[in-house]
Structure 1
Amino acid sequence: TEHLIADMEQLRKHLDVERWLLFGGSWGSTLSLAYAERYPERVSEIVLIDVTSTRRYEIDWLYRGVGRFFPEAWERFRDGVPAADRDGDLVRAYARLMENPDPDVRAKAATEWCAWEDAVLSAEPYGKPNPYGDRPSRDVLAFVRICSHYFAHAGWLEEGQLIRDAKRLAGIPGVLIHGRLDMSGPPDTAWELSKAWPGAELVLVEGSGHKGSPAMSAALYGAFERFACS
């Protein structure tokens, strides 16, 4: 994450941009927050959707806790790692599988990971089915390798760091857009962030989840329009 923040700052300097609006969704919201809390003077506004902060608390929910709603899919996900790892850190176990020299082992692990991600989003009323598993095989491998590696290290962030340091964003206008039905990232993180960030506006969209909806798109474009005209 430190490398990504450095990349963003290098890009800003290269483009000779004094201050810019940050937009991110899901992991991108975590990265946007991490950058903004490091360089608040370089940020004009922030728009976040599907808000996450990559706490271990959130990671544990996505890869274990929400399994209570999808027990059959979660059992398959759990059984995708060696038996000795099934009662431990599943994310770290998958990260190890994605480093296995056998391409068949990596491919199977990536398939099981994406099947689980798709299952978590399967009850949402909008968006296409299987948004993760239907990607080209090369993209699936890249996604799971990066995702499991970052989440196994909780994004290299202190637990709760981004919520704790949200006070650094005081004076930066922000809009947090989150679907009420988001099972992969429940709304409590967006709620906590809105309480810790002076001046942030929280928009909870009923009937929407992680994959979005027409109402979420309208809220997103409305925020962009407002900031463009300010």
Structure 2
Amino acid sequence: MDRVAAQNADVTSQGRVQGGTGGRLFPPVEPFDRRMIDRGDGHAIYVEQCGHPAGRPVIVLHGGPGGGCSPVMRRFFDPDHWRIVLFDQRGCGRSQPHASVQANTTAHLIGDIDAIRAGLDLPPAVLFGGSWGATLALACAQARPEAVSALVLRGVFLGRRSELDWFYGGGAGRFWPDLWSRFVAPIPPDERHDLIAAYHRRLFSGERAEETRFALSWMAWENALAGLDSTASGHAPPDYARAFSRLENHYFVHRCFLDEGQLLRDRRLIEHIPAVIVQGRYDMVCPPISAHQLAEGWTRSDLRIVPASGHALSEPRIAAELVRVMQTMAGID
């Protein structure tokens, strides 16, 4: 979950953010390195590095699945202290082939992160991810705990059936019945008992126009609920919406390629790793119960419930808290 709609992440309730102190985003920065990593299975992964080449490494895991990374994601880290690694996960952004779900599973993504670490010769890194990015960070850390120095998670999604049922089975729709009606309207009544499957049939119909139409509908539902202000969701370009929606739906049809409850079951493998969890109090996409369950009993975790905030990275208080977390990790007052 969580598209890369962060175009407004540099705007707070006090106005436009500039600089990198007091929880404000840092100024825009350009990569010092861009590359494509050929994975040998038909996929090539786009990777970029920003900041200090000898700084502490942080790997940014975008949401979706299918969201892609964006320039604003570079701005949560002091470029004088951090070696910032961003990449587009399989099938999205600048990675190729676009919108492809072939050889595209959670295990493949963990393998891609391994290849990035090896290709860049990275020491143990901080994993920084929100929503699906938090899911992937947890799965990666549990698979490779020796490669992770810390976790920074936002809007926790654990890939469980209950979470998918909440968002695609009518739970969130009880709070937004008008928007829910719009989401279910294109689906015949006899298919509405499983909207993920119903959308899957149409997102993978082989008819480009139909796939795009249903992709825009799929994405509109998530965008509308991502922020505390549901009127500020914006509109996605059709090609982006098609890639995002196909990839996200593909993962959800397959329950994120995780065993049910796996990320909580295997938390014991990473309990020695420090983690900060930043969660919006009014997150309608990934309700706070998942963050609470993840943090409960994890002595090295720090759960921060952010008031008056929803799900999106662009939520002003969420963005400010994440910057403060990364400043603290870098030893900056």
Same structural fold, with TM-score higher than 0.5 when normalized by the shorter chain? yes
**Counterpart of 1:208?**
309
Equivalent of 1:51, from 145, 156, 175?
A: 156
Q: How does 1:38-187 map to 2 (within 5 A)?
A: 38-64=143-169, 65-87=171-193, 89-121=194-226, 124-125=228-229, 129-131=232-234, 134-187=235-288
Residue 26 of structure 1 aligns with which residue? Answer: 131
Q: In the alignment, is the contact (CA less than 8 A) between 1:169 and 1:197 conserved in 2?
A: no
TM-aligned CA deviation for residue 213 of structure 1: 3.0
Report if the CA contact (8 A) 1:30-1:51 is conserved.
yes
Is the Cα–Cα contact under 8 Å of residues 167 and 196 in structure 1 kept in the other structure? no
Selected match of 1:17 from 97, 110, 122: 122
Given residue 142 of structure 1, which amino acid in structure 2 is its aligned partner? A
Aligned-residue offset at 1:163: 1.2
CA contact (8 A) 1:92 1:149 kept: no
Distance 2:112 2:231 in 1: 32
Tell me, in whole angstroms, the C-alpha distance in 2 between the residues paired with 1:40 and 1:128.
Answer: 40
List gaps (5 residues or longer) in structure 2: 1-105
CA contact (8 A) 2:224 2:231 kept: no
The equivalent residue for 1:221 is: 323
Whole-angstrom distance in 1 between the partners of 2:180 and 2:233 = 16
Secondary structure of 1:229's match?
coil
1:167, CA displacement in angstroms? 1.5
Could you give the per-residue CA deviations for residues 176-220 of structure 1, whole angstroms, max 9, x where no partner exists?
000001111100100000015331000000001112433222221
**Structure 1: stretches of 5+ with no match in the other structure:** none
Give the C-alpha shift of residue 4 in structure 1.
Answer: 0.2
* 2:60 matched residue in structure 1: none
Identity of aligned residues (%): 40
Cα pair distance change 1:191/1:219, threshold 3 Å: same
More helix by share: 1
What is the total number of aligned residue pairs between the two structures?
Answer: 225
- Residues 145-195 of structure 1: per-residue CA shift (max 9 Å, x gap): 111111111101011110111121122111000000111110010000001
State how far apart, in whole Å, the 2-side matches of 1:108 and 1:149 are. 17
User: TM-score when scaled to structure 1?
Assistant: 0.91
Which deviates the most, 29-38 or 47-56? 47-56
TM-score normalized with structure 2 length: 0.64
Distance 1:18 1:115 in 2: 39
Q: Distance in 1 between matches of 2:226 and 2:142?
A: 30
Residue 299 (structure 2) aligned to one of 188, 194, 198: 198
Q: What is the distance in 2 between the residues matched to 1:196 and 1:8?
A: 28
Q: CA separation in 2, counterparts of 1:71 and 1:172? A: 41
1:100 maps to a residue whose letter is: S
Residue identity opposite 1:91 in structure 2? I
Is the 8 Å Cα contact of residues 110 and 144 (structure 1) preserved in structure 2?
Answer: yes
Q: Distance in 2 between matches of 1:110 and 1:144?
A: 5
Structure 2 letter corresponding to 1:130: S
Which deviates more, 47-56 or 27-36? 47-56
What is the rounded CA distance, in whole Å, between the counterparts of 1:92 and 1:175 in structure 2?
Answer: 34
Does the C-alpha gap of structure 1 residues 16 and 128 become closer, same or farther in structure 2, counting only changes over 3 Å? farther
Structure 1 SS opposite 2:296: helix
